[in-house]
Every structure is written in C-alpha cells, then in structure tokens.
Structure 1
C-alpha cells in the first residue's frame, strides 16, 4: 500500500477516520494525504492556494473568506502535528463538490485506499439523496473503509467477508488479503441465506472451500447464517459474533438500476456501527 486518502470535513466522524488512517499509515508506511473540500454556495473565482475572488452578495463573500482562512489555519496546525511522524504526510484544500473533489484526487494520486467518516442516512434521505460517502463507496476505483466511531486498526481481530463466493468477487480478494495481513485479523467467510436466495449448506460449504483453496486464504472461519435479508444478516452476524470489521464487494450500480435493486454494501455502510471495508467489482 503506497497512498491512503482521507477526505476530511472536521466532523467527529472525520476525526475518527483520520485517527484510524494515521495508525494504519504507521503500520504500512504509506503516504497519508488529507483532503478538505470547501463547498462554495455561489459562483466564485478561486485557485488552489485558497485565494478567492468574489462577486455577488457581500455577506456570503465575507463568510466564505473567513471560512477559507479558518480552514487554512486548521490544516496548517494538522501539518505541524504530523511533520515528525513515521509516514509521509501531505494535505490539500480545494473547492467545489466534495464527491467530485474526492474522485479527482483519487485519480490524481492513484490512491490505494480511501478512509472516510460516515454519519449514515436513513429513510427518505437515504432513498433520494444518499451521501458523499455512499457515492464514494459506489464509484471508487480502490477500496474504501468507512468509519463512524473511534477505533484502532490494532483492535481489529476479526473481519466478516459476506459474499456469494462466485467468480465476480474474485478480483477484490488480493486487496482483502492485504487488509487481513495489515491488521492480522481472522477472516470470517459467511454466506447469508435468505428466503429469496436460499442455498443448501452442502452447496455453500463446498463453494466456499473451493474459494478458500483457489485464493490460498489463511486464518479463515467458514459460516452460513440465516436471515430475512442480506443486509440484516451481515449486521446481525457481526453483532452476534463480536466481529470488528465488515468487508464487502459493491456492484457500483447507478441510475434506474440502483433505485430498483439498491446496494447491500451501501445499506450496510449506512446502518452498521462497525467500520466497513468495500471495493467495487469492475465490470
């Protein structure tokens, strides 16, 4: 792992994600980059150094100028705190849409991992709007770890990887093995049986065993768990077995198909209190 990107908005969840990322960067000796995106409410002229040319409403202009200066000072303080760390650290302050800013940065620095905070969403907000975190989970070209509460990578001793263990999931396994190696956790390979996707225990165990053998997975525990839905089953299994992290593949569906079928991974990110590692399956 060479580069970890942390989108940072100064929220409690972002602070938790940053703390987690700093520990992981120490373990992996990765370059840790902190990105802060300021959303400008009206049309402004600005450059990447934070110099803003404003027009329009004076009150809005004053607010933006003060916010930019405040954020520059806060980021400078973070840089000072991180200058003697065991890993390379850098920051970037930019302007615009947070999701677009994150996506552009991922492409520019070729990030190997994104670690970001998540408040989660529910109800109508979840259905119609979603969040920047959900969009990143859905579209990112590298793995994403979403963090809600304070947690240390060293405390992660178990990871559930819920899957149907078909061929389309195979591409993410090298990345999952790196995660397991970095945190030294046991991997729980779990097939969630639901009324709509039932599979016999014999068939499931055979499929998972072949998956383990093919990818040379070590320190694994194989389980079948019954539930009303995949999302509920994943979260319930994690709760019942005191699992420290959830790992999943996401299909990255968008538009009409996303509204029809949704995304189990995004639902789990929204509703789980545990950190969730996700990676998009490339089509």
Structure 2
C-alpha cells in the first residue's frame, strides 16, 4: 500500500479520516494524495472565465489556507503528501483521481445518512463505495490510535469473493490482525451451521497468507443487523466486505448491504469491489 487518496472538505469527519490515513501512511511508507473539491457556485462554472477568475482565485486561496493549517498539525509530520484542489463535482473528481494516480486505498470520512436523505440523496462516500476500483475505508468517529486487532470479514463465501478476500488478508496482515470470517444466517436464506462452516472451510483452502482466524455463523433477522451485532459482540476494530458496484435500477431495487453498513455502522468499514 503506497498510495492513499484522502478527499477532504475540511469537516470534522474528514479530519478523523485524515488521522487514520496518516497512521496508515507512516506504517507503510505511503504517500497521501490529499484532495479538495471546490464546491463553486453554478455561475462560476458557466465558462465565462473573464468574469469568474477573481472569485475562483478567492475560493482557491481559502482552500490552500486550510491545507496549510492541516499540514501544520503534529500527526501530519514526516509524511509525503501531494495536495490538489479540483473544481470537478466531488464524486467525479474522486473516481478520476483513483485512476490517475493508481490509488491503493481511499480513506473517507462520513457522517452517514438516514431516512429520506439516504433514499433520495445519498452521499459521495456511498457513491465511491459503490463504484471505486480501489478499496474504500470509511471513518465515522475520532480514533486516537488506529489499530486493527479484530477484523470482521463478512461474506457469503462464494467463489467470486476470493479476490476480495485476498485484499482483506493483505489489509489484516498490515496490523497482524485476527480475521473473523462471518456468515450471517437469516430466515430468508437459512442454512445449517454445519453446512455454513463447511462452505467457509472450503472457501479458505489454498489461502496461505493468513493464520490467525476464526469462523463464525451468526443468526439474525437481516444480514446487516447480523454483521453489526456480531461486530459489537467482539468489539471489532474493523468491518470488511465486498461491494458489487450496482448501478441504476438494479441498485435502487436491490440495495447494497455494504452501503447500508457505511451509512449505519459506527465502526470503521472497508469495502472491496468485486
């Protein structure tokens, strides 16, 4: 992990994420690509540059002043940082930066979304989780010292999850974390404990890069509730799972467990796109 993208709007949640990104960068000798998307008023994007330049320069100056304040904080010392200010829409700029810099990990802050806001508006974080080619680590709260001892990897343990699991192992190995492989049983897709455990044992055959792990079958009314409740029961430091990158009507009707977790979990969540 050598390239970490951190989109920031200079909010408290973005700073929480930046502290985690800084910790990861120091541990891995990585570069942080610190990016701010200018949310310019619509008239500044009209194309009439003769009228827009003074106001654009003002917004740019404010952004760089905020960056200077950010870089002067103690937790940012001795980290290689690349700073960019863009005028794209936030989501477009983030996806473009992931490809442009061949990003290994995106770290984002989020305050979550619920109710009508969650249904009709969503968040940039949710969109990035759904579509990003790189793993996305979402941070909701202040973490004094980010360390992963217990890492829950939730899955249905089908073959298409194996590449995702390899990425989860790599992240767990950064911290020497114990992986808790979790299969959630629900009334709508119930299987016996014996069958679930066999599926999990068959799934991990051939993986040699991880040793510290446990297999868990947990019963709950929904997959999301099962993941959240199990993670709470072991005081997990991190929850990981895949996202299928659903788009359009498929996403609207089927939803996404990973996006629901990003919205509702208080613990850090990392997603890996299939």
Aligned equivalent of 2:250: 257
Assess, with a 3 A threshold, how the Cα gap between structure 1 residues 207 and 84 changes in structure 2: closer, same or farther. closer
Q: 1:258 to 1:153 in 2, by over 3 A?
A: farther
Name the structure 2 match of 1:185.
Answer: 177
| CA deviation map 1:42-92 (0-9, x unaligned) | 143699xxxx94638xxxx75x65433211112133345589844421111
Structure 1 spans left out of the alignment, 5+ residues: none
Match of 1:151 in 2: 143
Q: Deviations over 1:190-221 (max 9, x none)?
A: 10000111111111111111222222232001
For the pair 1:239 / 2:249, whether they are aligned, the reply is no
Number of matched pairs: 272
CA distance in 2, matches of 1:156, 1:84: 20
Counterpart mapping for 1:1-283 below 5 A: 1-44=1-44, 53=49, 55=51, 65-79=57-71, 85-151=77-143, 154-216=146-208, 217-281=210-274
**Secondary structure of 2:93's partner?**
helix
Which string of whole-angstrom CA distances, capped at 9 and with x for unpartnered residues, describes residues 142-185 of structure 1?
A: 10000011125643210111101000101112211111011221
- C-alpha separation in 2, matches of 1:6 and 1:176: 20
What is the CA–CA distance in structure 1 between the aligned matches of 2:81 and 2:46, rounded to whole Å? 25
* More deviation, 36-45/233-242: 36-45
Question: For residues 125 and 161 of structure 2, what CA distance do their matches in structure 1 show?
Answer: 22
In structure 2, distance between residues paired with 1:75 and 1:84: 11
1:36 positional shift: 0.4
TM-score, length-scaled by structure 1: 0.90
SS at match of 1:91: strand
